[in-house]
Chains A and B, each alone.
Chain A
């Protein structure tokens, strides 16, 4: 009996279980099962085709028998109450411009015109952007980074313009090791040092509405882009050797300039840059220094008796050029040339008196510059070889004559510089001292008796 009762109990239990699996249940349970089967989800795409929007719905359960099932949207439509969906395979969609984009809509699932289930949603809260495209990666050697750029169709749209983008990249050999970066613009910079050298990477991007007014879901991933990171060579890690050499040389050059500037500042640089004014006191002190030996500083003429000095009273015109010429046994002059001699023998810089000096008087070392008055040779001084003097003013043959004269006078121990431009003129000598041998040099050993302005500069 007990065994029989147990067997019956097991049979009833099995029957109950089997009947439950076959779907035989109470009404409430049956309704719940049906509702679960007809759950659906939708997403919207705004301005997907010009000004037209797209709303797509699909059942969550792919095994649902969609035969005779219809979708309908009501509310938040322009100038119309409801719109029916179109069916394509297992998806229902509607393409229209008539979304109000403000307020909620109701989506009904209908079977044979009868509402099976409904769902309230807002079109602007289920927006799914279009996938980005044209992703590119450019390596910038100067910056040592990778510039990632991509494009999105939403930049041209009116409504869903602001998006958040997610960039994902990984090394190809490391699966499921994606790095993610969120950006709001369409450019991203990846630093080279954060990537493995000489490795192959892949990168992709997707978008989502910025959640300001439009919200929704992530878009599909963009097509993947592959790029390879460069190898790290020795030269890439070091500085350019040429640049290094130049920088070192420049440094040493600058250091050298600084040292030289410091060393030569006082003696060389400062006098040029900031010359000091002459100090009168120091100058006077130098002047009043003890004279050197053999320096006869005196204004007493008797102390100069040893020196042969010829006083020069003046320069006067002389008609007796001939006598001079006779002394030096010159050839006879023609009348014309006498007149010429009388005429303009005066140079513009000379006084009227002038005298002719024989070449002999010039023998010796008589620097012209040492005399108070200067002496210039008349062109009348004729070489023994020449026939007639030419005393024309500034005559063309002047320089030649002068040179000839120098040659004709024999050896001159020193060259005779011409401190003044060659002017025809005759210098008059004081008759009192005419007997004297003439101008003689003061001697190179004597110092100047007079102080010149140059001493001021020397004292500096």
Chain B
């Protein structure tokens, strides 16, 4: 009897402590009630999408590989939003409009403001040339325009994903 209780006292609690980080999320999300999202972030996201609908012509149906890597999975919404918010910064200056860029920054910084992630989640930002159009002056205007369109298409998909993930978070908080 004594060795059985010994096992339960000294065996199981450390096991729980070890497994706890696996089950918990790496990023805590503030504003789960949705006020910041509904009154600030959603307005900027909708403005960006409206602007892109007016400007972009044809977008491919397939999702860019860069965006396929990350998804808004259960218990990983915070991580997805963190990475997506960082990725948004790469799209700044794709469009020459100041308001467009400010909305982009608002979504990016506002999302990061509401997230409280552990240090291990903080990733390095990808290289600048990964998504932005190249600044090679020798490229034709048409090629630049194509790359700009491609970037806008990717940005549109990313914004839709962010919107969907926020809706999922708010739905989950309402159910609880």
Answer yes or no: are A and B bound together in one complex.
yes
Q: Contact residues of A with B, CB < 8 Å?
A: 51, 76, 78-79, 97-98, 100-103, 124, 158-159, 212-214
- Output the nearest chain B residue to A79 by Cβ-Cβ distance: B105
Complex Cα–Cα for A124 and B40 (A): 10
B39 contacts A159, C-beta separation under 8 Å:
yes
Q: In angstroms, how far is the closest chain A Cβ from the Cβ of B98? A: 8
A100 contacts B106, C-beta separation under 8 Å:
yes
A97 contacts B102, C-beta separation under 8 Å:
yes
A101 contacts B102, C-beta separation under 8 Å:
no
Complex Cα–Cα for A100 and B41 (A): 10
Which of B35, B99, B113 contacts A51 (CB under 8 A)?
B99
- Output the nearest chain A residue to B98 by Cβ-Cβ distance: A97
Q: Which residues of B contact A213 (CB under 8 A)?
A: 35-36, 38-40
Which of A97, A100, A103, A159 contacts B99 (CB under 8 A)?
A97
Return the CB mask of B106-136 against A: 1 if under 8 Å, else 0.
1001100110000000000000000000000
Which of A79, A97, A102, A212 contacts B40 (CB under 8 A)?
A102
18 A–B contacts from the bound complex (CB under 8 Å): A51-B99, A51-B102, A76-B113, A78-B105, A78-B106, A79-B109, A97-B98, A98-B102, A100-B113, A101-B110, A102-B36, A102-B41, A102-B109, A102-B110, A102-B113, A158-B43, A159-B43, A212-B35
A101 contacts B35, C-beta separation under 8 Å:
no
Count chain A CB atoms within 10 A of each CB in B36, B40, B43 and give the residue with the most: B40
Interface size classification for chain B: 10 to 19
Q: Contact residues of B with A, CB < 8 Å?
A: 35-36, 38-41, 43, 47, 98-99, 102, 105-106, 109-110, 113-114
Q: In angstroms, how far is the closest chain A Cβ from the Cβ of B105? A: 5
B109 contacts A159, C-beta separation under 8 Å:
no
Q: Which residues of A contact B105 (CB under 8 A)?
A: 78-79
Complex Cα–Cα for A213 and B99 (A): 23
B43 contacts A78, C-beta separation under 8 Å:
no
A101 contacts B109, C-beta separation under 8 Å:
no
Complex Cα–Cα for A124 and B39 (A): 10
In the complex with contacts A97-B99, A97-B102, A98-B102, A78-B109 CB distance below 8 A: yes
Which of A97, A103, A158 contacts B113 (CB under 8 A)?
A103
- Output the nearest chain B residue to A101 by Cβ-Cβ distance: B40
Q: Which residues of A contact B43 (CB under 8 A)?
A: 158-159
Which of A51, A101, A102 contacts B114 (CB under 8 A)?
A102
Q: In angstroms, how far is the closest chain A Cβ from the Cβ of B84? A: 16
Complex Cα–Cα for A100 and B43 (A): 12
B39 contacts A78, C-beta separation under 8 Å:
no
Q: Which residues of A contact B114 (CB under 8 A)?
A: 102
Complex Cα–Cα for A214 and B38 (A): 12
Inter-chain pairs besides A78-B109, A214-B39, 15 sampled, C-beta below 8 Å: A51-B99, A76-B113, A79-B105, A98-B102, A100-B106, A100-B113, A101-B106, A101-B110, A102-B41, A102-B109, A102-B113, A124-B39, A159-B40, A213-B36, A213-B40
Count chain B CB atoms within 10 A of each CB in A100, A102, A214 and give the residue with the most: A102
B39 contacts A100, C-beta separation under 8 Å:
no
Complex Cα–Cα for A365 and B106 (A): 121
Q: Which residues of B contact A214 (CB under 8 A)?
A: 39
- Output the nearest chain A residue to B34 by Cβ-Cβ distance: A213
CB-based closest 9 A-B pairs: A213-B39, A213-B35, A102-B110, A78-B105, A101-B40, A103-B113, A102-B113, A102-B36, A158-B43
